[in-house]
């Protein structure tokens, strides 16, 4: 575990993470003035909740931008267990997207972002389950570490520690906050953190921020504190409520775009622990520099800079800011190590750059690079503030979990001309020991050193040192790739360090429907300028691979080579795993694949997970091969069906309106189609006519939240040929017993004979958003319930309509089929074959 200084510095670096992984932001004069005001304030607040999008952005924006407090959000999970409204990514991919959405939100509301190691495993109905699966003691330690490092004056929770929270994760997040509030102050708890240099810390108070989803929500309890989050800020030209709406709307994967609220609006807070207060969250707390004895000179110099600030000439404040920096550096080491003082020092460095009108960039000549490659970095320094700045030096640095080291330093010493860039090109070879660019929280390098941070540090950075007569200061920027997007214009992407060669398996799940062998195809892709070596497949002994290995030779980065192996399954049913190994000259090691997550509202994300595939050997029959698929929010079911031998056509609105639907054996409407495809409001009638003529329509879950303006509304309330409603019932325990309500129904017998075993091995959850209040012409087929709850029968309902069949199901096929779960796959094949039930 890193020492406290290192750990504290890394966590404090979250203040500048937007600058570490994205281009350093340009601040206008109003923002500079607000930053100067912020330097005068030394209070801090930590907000705690369970997921990305749980945070109250109005509170964060008001405290950060309005009260000038150091504000942070601790999200217990990264949200990988949820659904995705903007694409097919789930699990680690979704968690990566939601991490970046949180960072985008924080860039707007001004707060910082932290996480624990807890994994979002999907909806939970109890805090007991959540804390058990999160590994309570470990996650509590993460929260304690964050509190001891961040040292907040006040801690806020989004949820109460009981069933009112509405989700086991929500309740558990509040329980952890309450426990951590006490444990962080107790030197006997998590003593290893103290040995590493952290100190016990007790916040002044812990409060629950009441949630109010509508104006008619219950009023807060007597004695609650309030905060107006609708205040208008003339420097921003908007209210904190308006700013909060933009921040919250960054959670695009969850459909959380919201309307701005204008006018006064109160948030209320109920004391859970600590010192009571009568009027203000920070009552009785010293929020100025006077809280730290010996800092009067720092405070005086910062006041001088603020009083002399000229919006039309920010650079005139540089001498006073440099004097304040000198006063900070003259403080005793123990005082300089205080987290709030460190945070102010980082803010001051950023303010120096911004007031000087400095633009510093370091642009790589490509987005991906491999160890051993030669990389060119084009550096540019541009002074636009009108001050007599001198460029003392430029230094290119490598960053690893162990620290940083200089690759090359170039002394300069010449004045920077006003508004004319000084350019330098650095060329160097990527060291063989450079860590690969896989996120630390997914098992990549830096899992311990960067624990709690949203993302890993960039692998390389540029340090520009500039000077005035009053002193010098550094501006540090990441090495990035810049390109022109024909629609979005200038875009920056993080530089990714990738393997010399990486592997893409055609299928991440290999399904064998019988004992016969099949071909496993993969691509070897050069990450380096040249890549040659061997590839082999690792499988359990019951499986046979031919040949034992294959060779490849690639002569340029990005070149692909296709390889195939013949894989023979065991005679009996089996569930196993295949792993790919590659040798590029240093011996066989686990091969890695490359996944790019490219969405316009977040930076490009590169994942380098191990190249592996799930192996499933089970008996499967299917009648009917031509499937039409109406994509909703996005899922991987079409690809899952194609690997089973189905022909799948993705149907546009125009195709639904004009083409002959009778050519399809079944038409499937993907998850949330009735939330995301407005044309279905009218096209549903054409689908029902297709059913009446003998077709099969299978509708996967849609969402009817019950909270106006949150998530997504259904485009129509009548989605079936006969009435039913979409409710909020769900079964979160993937092992929950399932009862066949109509054991003789063809859906359980043709073409696959289903048994209780087919409901084993499901992943994450059974079912969600069940049907309720259905018309008598529907037949419920399955009964199920979470432990301790009454059976619900709305997970799968079916109606005969004319000559065909209509199905609505909340069963989590969108998780099961891409994962190759045998029983779920066999059941879905039976649903698609309903039109052939008597064949």
CB distance 1 to 32 below 8 Å: no
Distance CA 832, CA 696 (A): 7
pLDDT at 78 (0 to 100):
98
**Ranges assigned E (strand) in 677-826:** 696-700, 725-726, 738-740, 771-772, 778-780, 782-784, 796-801, 804-809
Q: What is the bridge-based pairing of β-strands 782-784 and 390-400? A: unpaired
**Ranges assigned E (strand) in 430-557:** 460-468, 471-485, 489-494, 496-497, 501-505, 509-512, 518-526, 531-538, 544-546, 550-554
Quick one: three-class SS letters along 198-217? CCCCCCCEEEEECCCCCCCC
Q: Summarize pLDDT for 139-156 with one digit per residue, the tens.
A: 999 999 999 999 999 999
Q: Summarize pLDDT for 112-137 with one digit per residue, the tens.
A: 999 999 999 999 999 999 999 999 99
pLDDT at 6 (0 to 100):
44
- Reading the block at residue 186, the tokens are 């107790």
The CA-CA-CA angle for residues 71, 73, 77, to 5°, reads: 170
pLDDT at 25 (0 to 100):
67
CB distance 784 to 795 below 8 Å: yes
pTM: 0.91
Query: What stretches in the chain show pLDDT beneath 50?
Result: 1-20, 707-711
pLDDT at 704 (0 to 100):
86
Cis status, amide bond into 751, omega within 30 of 0:
yes
Residues with Cβ within 8 Å of 308's Cβ and at least 6 positions away in sequence, in order, are 316, 317, 320
- In this structure, the dihedral spanned by the alpha carbons of residues 395, 400, 404 and 410, taken in order and rounded to 10 degrees, is -20
CB atoms closer than 10 angstroms to residue 779: 16
Q: In 3-state terms, what secondary structure has residue 4?
A: helix
Q: In 3-state terms, what secondary structure has residue 652?
A: coil
pLDDT at 218 (0 to 100):
64
Distance CA 736, CA 234 (A): 56
Quick one: three-class SS letters along 73-111? EEECCCCCCCCCCCCCCCCHHHHHHHHHHHHHHHHHHCC
Q: In 3D, which of 662, 664, 657 has the Cα closest to residue 686?
A: 657
Q: In 3D, which of 10, 97, 108 has the Cα closest to residue 51?
A: 97
CB distance 116 to 74 below 8 Å: yes
Distance CA 19, CA 476 (A): 8
pLDDT at 708 (0 to 100):
40
Distance CA 346, CA 39 (A): 10
pLDDT at 212 (0 to 100):
66
**Tokens 């920096």 belong to residue:** 325
pLDDT at 221 (0 to 100):
78
pLDDT at 22 (0 to 100):
52
């Amino acid at each position: 575990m890193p020492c406290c200084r290192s750990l504290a510095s890394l966590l404090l670096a979250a203040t500048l993470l937007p600058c570490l992984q994205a281009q350093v932001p340009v601040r206008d004069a109003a923002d500079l003035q607000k930053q100067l005001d912020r330097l005068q304030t030394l209070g801090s607040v930590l907000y705690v909740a369970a997921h990305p999008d749980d945070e109250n952005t109005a509170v964060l924006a008001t405290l950060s931008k309005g009260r000038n407090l150091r504000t942070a959000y601790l999200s217990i999970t990264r949200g990988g267990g949820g659904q995705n409204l903007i694409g097919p990514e789930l699990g680690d991919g979704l968690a990566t997207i939601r991490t970046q959405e949180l960072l985008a939100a924080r860039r707007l509301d001004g707060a910082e972002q932290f996480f624990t190691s807890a994994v979002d495993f999907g909806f939970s109905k109890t805090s007991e389950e959540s804390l058990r699966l999160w590994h309570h003691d470990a996650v509590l330690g993460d929260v304690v570490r964050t509190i001891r490092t961040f040292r907040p004056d006040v801690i806020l929770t989004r949820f109460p520690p009981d069933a009112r929270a509405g989700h086991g994760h929500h309740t558990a997040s509040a329980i952890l906050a309450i426990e951590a509030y006490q444990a962080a102050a107790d030197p006997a708890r998590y003593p290893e953190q103290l040995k590493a240099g952290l100190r016990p810390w007790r916040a002044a108070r812990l409060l629950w921020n009441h949630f109010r989803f509508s104006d008619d929500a219950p009023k807060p309890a007597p004695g609650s504190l309030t905060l107006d989050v609708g205040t208008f800020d003339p420097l921003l030209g908007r209210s904190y409520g308006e700013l909060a709406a933009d921040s919250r709307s960054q959670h695009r994967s969850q459909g959380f775009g919201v309307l701005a609220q204008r006018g006064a609006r109160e948030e209320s807070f109920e004391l859970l622990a600590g010192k009571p207060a009568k009027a203000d969250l920070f009552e009785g707390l010293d929020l100025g520099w006077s809280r730290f004895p010996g800092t009067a000179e720092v405070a005086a110099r910062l006041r001088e800079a603020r009083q002399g600030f000229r919006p039309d000439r920010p650079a005139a404040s540089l001498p006073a800011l440099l004097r304040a920096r000198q006063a900070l550096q003259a403080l005793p080491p123990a005082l300089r190590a205080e987290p709030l003082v460190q945070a102010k020092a980082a803010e001051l460095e950023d303010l120096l750059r911004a007031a000087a009108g400095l633009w510093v960039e370091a642009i790589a000549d490509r987005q991906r690079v491999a160890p051993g490659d030669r990389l060119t970095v084009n550096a540019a320094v541009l002074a636009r503030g009108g001050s007599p700045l001198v460029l003392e030096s430029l230094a290119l640095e490598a960053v690893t979990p162990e620290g940083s080291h200089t690759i090359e330093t170039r002394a300069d010493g010449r004045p920077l001309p006003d508004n004319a860039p000084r350019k330098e090109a650095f060329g160097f070879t990527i060291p063989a020991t450079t860590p690969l660019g896989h996120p630390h929280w997914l098992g990549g390098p830096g899992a311990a050193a960067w624990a709690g941070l949203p993302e890993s540090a960039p692998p390389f950075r540029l340090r520009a040192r500039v000077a005035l007569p009053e002193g010098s200061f550094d501006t540090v920027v990441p090495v990035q790739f810049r390109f022109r997007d024909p629609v979005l214009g200038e875009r920056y992407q993080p530089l990714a360090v990738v393997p010399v060669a990486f592997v893409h398996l055609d299928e991440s799940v290999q399904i064998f429907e019988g004992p016969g062998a099949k071909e496993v195809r993969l691509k070897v892709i050069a990450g380096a300028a040249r890549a040659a070596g061997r590839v082999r497949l690792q499988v359990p002994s019951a499986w046979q691979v031919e040949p034992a290995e294959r060779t490849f030779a690639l002569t340029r980065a990005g070149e692909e080579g296709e390889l195939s192996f013949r894989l023979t399954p065991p005679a009996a049913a089996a569930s196993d795993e295949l792993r790919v190994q590659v040798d590029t000259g240093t011996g066989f090691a686990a091969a890695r694949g490359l996944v790019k997550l490219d969405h316009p509202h977040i930076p490009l994300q590169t994942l380098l997970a191990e190249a592996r595939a799930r192996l499933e050997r089970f008996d499967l029959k299917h009648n009917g091969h031509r499937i039409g698929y109406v994509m909703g929010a996005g899922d991987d079911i079409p690809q899952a069906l194609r690997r089973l031998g189905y022909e799948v056509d993705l149907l546009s609105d125009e195709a639904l309106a004009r083409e002959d639907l009778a050519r399809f054996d079944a038409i499937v409407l993907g998850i949330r189609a009735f939330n995301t495809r407005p044309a279905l409001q009218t096209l549903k009638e054409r689908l029902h006519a297709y059913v009446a003529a003998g077709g099969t329509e299978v509708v996967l879950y849609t969402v009817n939240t019950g909270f106006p303006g949150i998530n997504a509304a259904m485009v129509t309330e009548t989605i079936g040929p006969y009435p039913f409603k979409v409710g909020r019932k769900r079964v979160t325990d993937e092992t929950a017993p399932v009862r066949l309500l109509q054991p003789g129904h063809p859906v359980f017998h043709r073409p696959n004979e289903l048994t209780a075993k087919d409901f084993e091995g499901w992943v994450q959850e059974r079912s969600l958003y069940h049907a309720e209040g259905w018309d008598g012409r529907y037949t419920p087929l399955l009964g199920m319930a979470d432990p301790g709850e009454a059976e619900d029968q709305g997970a799968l309902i079916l109606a005969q309509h004319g000559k065909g069949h209509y199905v609505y199901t909340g069963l989590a096929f969108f998780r099961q089929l891409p994962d190759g779960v045998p029983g779920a796959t066999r059941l879905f094949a039976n649903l698609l074959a309903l039109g052939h039930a008597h064949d």
